[in-house]
Structure 1
Amino acid sequence: MTKSGNKRVVVIGHINHDRIWRLTEPLRAGGRIAWSSRETRLGGGGYFTARRLLDLGHDVALLSNLMSDAHGEAALADLDAAGFDTRLIARRDGETEFADILLDPTGERTILSSERRLSRTFLLDEPVHADAFYVNAPKLPQTILASLESAPLVVSQFPLREGELRAADIMVGSKADLPGVSMADAWRRAQRLASERLTHLVMTDGPAAISIFDGRIEHTVTLDRTVSVPDTIGAGDSFSGALINALLSGADVVAASRIAGNDTTVWLERREAENRTEPAKSIS
């Protein structure tokens, strides 16, 4: 059941166990790099977007998978305790593989992921219904594709690797992931994936202006203010959650992008303040 006044959102994406190494200097070829702290926490594109939507008051179902070992059990318990609907999370035999994230003092990050972890697929027995779907996955089974076809709102992350055709109203990407690609070319790539249903492509650029393109006209949105923090992990995913929240509240995509960008600035500031005042936490 959807909470009164809020919307039900299904988030399709990975839940990762991120092991974050805070380096004392930037990476360099052949160097010996010291690290100041190491923290393990839940992460991944699916998790961060779902977490933002949950914090904004929505009924959020996670469609993902976790391993059946102690790490997976602990993560599932934490997600249940936080208030997520975890009934669509598949359990898989085997051991949890961690993603190592090297975070240097400037905020630059290097992510190390095994090919096996990146190739995880999603399982769904039969189509599901919700007020909105968010998709952060390249490959999707037919049951998920059917769910998207009948959904009133679908926001998809721009797949970095070859992706499955999927129904999507809005596609969100980062200009950093498509260096040198024009908005027109990015639009054509997005439309090949999302079909004629696609209405807008939203491209973020860190703290710089956000571009919104409908295939003909490009709108740019400048944030009210920007923030510089050493840890921007999950910022783009949090933006997607705030964007969906604004769209569900009735904002048009340009206004929703402005709201989401400013909301993400506040989110980054709040997390940085928490990191300064709290000791590093680890998940089991």
Structure 2
Amino acid sequence: MAEKQSIVVVGSINADLTTHVQRHPNPGETLLGSGGTVSAGGKGANQAVAAAQLGANVSMVGAIGNDAMAKDAMVHLEKSGVDTDPVATIDGPTGLAVITVSADGENTIIVVPGANAQVDAGFVEKHAELIKSAGIVLLQGEIPASGFARAVDLAQGRVVVNLAPVVEVGHEQLLKANPLVVNEHEGALVLELLGAPLQSGDPQYLLKALLEQGFNTVVMTLGAKGALVADAQGLTEIPTPTIHAVDTTGSGDGFVGALVAKLADGADLVAASKFAARVGAFAATRAGAQASYPTLDDELPS
């Protein structure tokens, strides 16, 4: 059996402030809600925790502040066994995500970068040897573009990118993603970022257009409709279990974390995506982000 590859996540660490409402407010409208709890989040940390809880060997490169939110932001990273030695504490606030969840489980999120804004090229360079040694380097869109670019340039293993949110990053570095993981909306924005004319929002069109831009492989998540994997052989549909969604916050990150965990085990992209869809569905049946992710002891929906 091949040795399990190590995963280095270069990304964001946040505290999530979550509120619950019957429905999302309209512009200018005030609604009463509930909640107000703080939990661990950040796309980078979410994906690192999801992968580690599934048995992956994961290191987290990122930053937190020296405020009261830092402890909440780190709790699951530390409990899940992620190597947090590369996480720096800086003078200032920890990254913050303000999340509003409606009764049907859909959410809106506003992210304030905080310490994540310090994860630039110079910060990443301090962890050059760790990144070079990784079998998989995983990145998102919640750190500065210079940090993103330096991490990709240092990587000698596989680069996986979940460009969420879609921000301006180096095109050369972005195209090294294998795979690029996006949802439909993000896929369209990536095409715009690369200067490609957008003729349709159809997922199959978007995937073919992304491959034409130079990506080797793309995984597009489609929520309750599952996902699509695009590569040189064509498109493969990935089913997802039928569930009752409680909170979709972080379920996409659960998908990505599970995907890289399986890739690190030697699975091919289609098999890894099928497993990831089940993990993402599991996460949507529980509240919160990192607290909703399964371990190897949990039974996944099928």
What secondary structure sits across from 2:84 in the alignment? coil
Q: Aligned residue for 2:162?
A: 157
Q: CA deviation at 1:86?
A: 1.3
1:202 and 2:219 are equivalent in the alignment: yes
Residues 18 and 43, structure 1, Cα contact 8 Å, conserved in 2: yes
Identity of matched residues, %: 24
Aligned residue type for 2:154: S
Question: Among residues 39, 51, 61, which one is paired with 2:49 in the alignment?
Answer: 51
What secondary structure sits across from 2:279 in the alignment? helix
Question: Among residues 227, 233, 242, which one is paired with 2:249 in the alignment?
Answer: 233
Q: Aligned residue for 1:181?
A: 201
What secondary structure sits across from 1:261 in the alignment? helix
Residues 15 and 72, structure 2, Cα contact 8 Å, conserved in 1: no
1:168 and 2:177 are equivalent in the alignment: yes
1:36 and 2:53 are equivalent in the alignment: no
Aligned residue type for 2:221: T
Q: CA deviation at 1:22?
A: 0.7
Aligned residue type for 1:250: G
> For residues 31 and 77 of structure 1, what CA distance do their matches in structure 2 show?
35
**Which has the larger displacement, 179-188 or 91-100?**
179-188
**Which has the larger displacement, 207-216 or 99-108?**
207-216
> For residues 116 and 75 of structure 1, what CA distance do their matches in structure 2 show?
12
Aligned residue type for 1:209: G
User: What TM-score do you get using the length of structure 2 for normalisation?
Assistant: 0.76
> For residues 162 and 90 of structure 1, what CA distance do their matches in structure 2 show?
25
> For residues 98 and 71 of structure 2, what CA distance do their matches in structure 1 show?
20
What's the CA shift string for 1:162-218, capped at 9, x where partnerless?
A: 1223232211001143465354545555775xxx5x421000010103111125622
After TM superposition, list the pairs within 5 Å mapping 1:132-281 onto structure 2: 132-137=136-141, 139-141=145-147, 143-148=150-155, 150-151=156-157, 153-159=158-164, 160-164=166-170, 165-166=172-173, 167-178=176-187, 180-182=200-202, 183-186=204-207, 188-189=209-210, 198-214=215-231, 217-223=234-240, 225-269=241-285
Go from structure 1 to structure 2 and tell me whether the alpha carbon gap of 1:236 and 1:190 turns closer, same or farther (over 3 Å shift).
farther
**Which has the larger displacement, 77-86 or 163-172?**
77-86
> For residues 248 and 79 of structure 1, what CA distance do their matches in structure 2 show?
19
Go from structure 1 to structure 2 and tell me whether the alpha carbon gap of 1:102 and 1:56 turns closer, same or farther (over 3 Å shift).
same
What's the CA shift string for 1:31-64, capped at 9, x where partnerless?
A: 3311122211111111111111110112211111
After TM superposition, list the pairs within 5 Å mapping 1:68-79 onto structure 2: 68-72=66-70, 75-76=73-74, 79=77
Q: CA deviation at 1:76?
A: 4.5
What secondary structure sits across from 1:105 in the alignment? coil
Residues 139 and 161, structure 2, Cα contact 8 Å, conserved in 1: yes
> For residues 212 and 178 of structure 2, what CA distance do their matches in structure 1 show?
10
Q: Aligned residue for 1:80?
A: 78
Q: Aligned residue for 1:13?
A: 11
Q: Which runs of no fewer than 5 residues in structure 2 stay unpaired?
A: 189-199, 293-302
User: What TM-score do you get using the length of structure 1 for normalisation?
Assistant: 0.80
Aligned residue type for 1:130: A
Aligned residue type for 1:139: A
Go from structure 1 to structure 2 and tell me whether the alpha carbon gap of 1:75 and 1:38 turns closer, same or farther (over 3 Å shift).
closer
**Which has the larger displacement, 198-207 or 241-250?**
241-250
